[in-house]
């Protein structure tokens, strides 16, 4: 089924509720000989490029800012770490280190992530709601506006009706706090666009949106270009990813991703969450960054 805004409106009407049920290693490495044709020439919203600190192999470590600067990125997504030992990012001294390095290097801490929810799920661990509340406090300190809530591994929601219902109720409970903090909670999962919208519509808060991972959704067989257009303003941020190869050489048509993002007027962050690193970690990320800059130039 082709996902369009019109289709969504029609289905919402028939369903009777708002929603649907159901690093450079040499100049040669940085030449982006792509599988796809020339990048889209759309004029559109500026997209800032970042990378996840775990992809940079600097999880919850301010040194990730230095790696990001070296690779030509605008910012980083920072993982909150492990709450069982106390979230490191709650410590004022670590926050000061991030602030000082960010200012010096001119690289932003763009958003946060609760990766621990893949191991200790939001749907079943009674402690998880407090962790989300803690992330809102860290967001205030860092002046970030997005916290990724991960739903993979033990936290997977696909075909888990009971778990999804628990998540919806918990999101309803925490959403007013997120609204007050001016923070968006981004749901990232294996779910389709329709399944994500069913959750968002039941929660009923603009503070809960979709964190859209291009590679994960493509791996699931979803039409990512139509899903981006379908979700529209309900997408808070993007992960760039290609499971098959370096960007531009794999199966993700990034120029078409750009067209879809332009169509929904997206302005915000796209973070590299790399999978293929045939050139070594930093060289591969540098290659992918160089390629993405050809699609999302700073002047756009």
State residue 165's pLDDT score. Answer: 98
Checking if the pLDDT of 259 tops 60, the result is yes
State residue 35's pLDDT score. Answer: 36
- C-alpha 201/C-alpha 114 separation (Å) is 22
State residue 3's pLDDT score. Answer: 57
Question: What angle (nearest 5°) sits at the alpha carbon of residue 262, between those of residues 260 and 263?
Answer: 65
Domain membership of residue 151 (yes or no) is yes
Helices assigned H by DSSP within 182-280: 193-203, 214-219, 224-231, 254-263
- The answer to whether the beta carbons of residues 160 and 115 sit under 8 Å apart is no
- C-alpha 170/C-alpha 175 separation (Å) is 8
Domain membership of residue 38 (yes or no) is no
More confident residue, 158 or 299: 158
More confident residue, 67 or 21: 67
The per-residue pLDDT of the chain, averaged, comes to 88
Checking if the pLDDT of 37 tops 70, the result is no
Q: Are strands 75-79 and 47-52 parallel, antiparallel or unpaired?
A: parallel
Distances (CA, A) of 269 to 108, 151, 211: 11, 20, 11
Tokens 């792509």, located at residue = 34
Checking if the pLDDT of 34 tops 90, the result is no
Distance, C-alpha 232 to centroid of its chain: 14
Percentage of the chain modeled with pLDDT above 90: 83
State residue 274's pLDDT score. Answer: 87
State residue 263's pLDDT score. Answer: 97
More confident residue, 244 or 41: 244
Which residue segment(s) compose the domain that 283 sits in? 5-10+45-294
Domain membership of residue 81 (yes or no) is yes
DSSP 8-state code for residue 136: H
Q: Are strands 184-189 and 235-240 parallel, antiparallel or unpaired?
A: unpaired
Number of domains in the chain: 1
Checking if the pLDDT of 42 tops 80, the result is no
19: left (phi over 0), alpha (psi -120 to 50) or beta: left
State residue 57's pLDDT score. Answer: 97
Q: Which of 212, 215, 213, 187 is nearest to 201 (CA)?
A: 187
Mind giving me the DSSP string for 260-285? HHHHTT--EEEEE-----TT-HHHHH
Checking if the pLDDT of 240 tops 90, the result is yes
pLDDT digits (tens, 9 = 90+) for 67-120: 999 999 999 999 999 999 899 999 999 999 999 999 999 999 999 999 999 999
State residue 267's pLDDT score. Answer: 95
Domain membership of residue 40 (yes or no) is no
What's the average model confidence in pLDDT over 61-65? 98
What's the average model confidence in pLDDT over 44-57? 89
Rounded-to-5 percentages of helix, strand, coil across the chain:
45, 15, 40
Domain membership of residue 120 (yes or no) is yes
- The answer to whether the beta carbons of residues 95 and 89 sit under 8 Å apart is yes
Q: What is the CATH number of the domain that holds 259?
A: 3.20.20.150
- C-alpha 231/C-alpha 257 separation (Å) is 13
- C-alpha 172/C-alpha 162 separation (Å) is 16
Domain membership of residue 21 (yes or no) is no
Whole-model pTM: value is 0.86
Sign of the torsion formed by the C-alpha atoms of 66, 70, 74 and 77: negative
Distances (CA, A) of 98 to 107, 113, 139, 142, 279: 10, 16, 13, 9, 29
Domain membership of residue 66 (yes or no) is yes
pLDDT digits (tens, 9 = 90+) for 138-184: 999 999 999 999 999 999 999 999 999 999 999 999 999 999 999 99
More confident residue, 84 or 27: 84
Domain membership of residue 277 (yes or no) is yes
């Amino acid at each position: 089924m082709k996902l369009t805004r019109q289709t969504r409106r029609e289905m919402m009407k028939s369903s009777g509720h708002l929603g649907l049920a159901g690093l450079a290693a040499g100049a040669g490495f940085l030449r982006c000989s792509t599988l796809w044709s020339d990048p889209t020439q759309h004029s559109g919203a500026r997209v800032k490029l970042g990378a996840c600190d775990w992809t940079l192999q600097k999880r919850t470590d301010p040194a990730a800012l230095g790696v990001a600067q070296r690779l030509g990125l605008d910012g980083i997504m920072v993982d909150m770490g492990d709450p069982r030992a106390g979230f490191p990012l709650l410590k004022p001294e670590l926050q000061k280190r991030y602030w000082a390095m960010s200012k010096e290097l001119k690289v932003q801490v763009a958003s946060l992530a609760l990766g621990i929810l893949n191991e200790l799920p939001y749907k079943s661990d009674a402690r998880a709601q407090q962790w989300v509340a803690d992330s809102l406090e860290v967001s205030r300190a860092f002046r970030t506006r997005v916290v990724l809530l991960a739903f993979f591994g033990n936290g997977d929601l696909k075909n888990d009706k009971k778990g999804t219902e628990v998540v919806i109720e918990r999101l309803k409970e925490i959403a007013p706090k997120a609204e007050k903090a001016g923070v968006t909670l981004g749901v990232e999962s294996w779910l389709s666009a329709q399944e994500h919208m069913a959750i968002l519509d039941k929660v009923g808060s603009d503070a809960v949106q979709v964190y859209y991972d291009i590679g994960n959704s493509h791996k699931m067989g979803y039409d990512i270009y139509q899903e981006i257009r379908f979700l529209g303003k309900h997408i808070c941020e993007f992960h760039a990813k290609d499971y098959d190869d370096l960007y531009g050489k794999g199966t993700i048509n990034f120029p078409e991703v750009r067209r879809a993002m332009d169509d929904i007027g997206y302005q915000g962050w796209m973070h590299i969450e790399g999978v293929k690193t045939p050139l070594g970690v930093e060289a591969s990320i540098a290659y992918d960054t160089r390629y993405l800059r050809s699609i999302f130039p700073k002047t756009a």
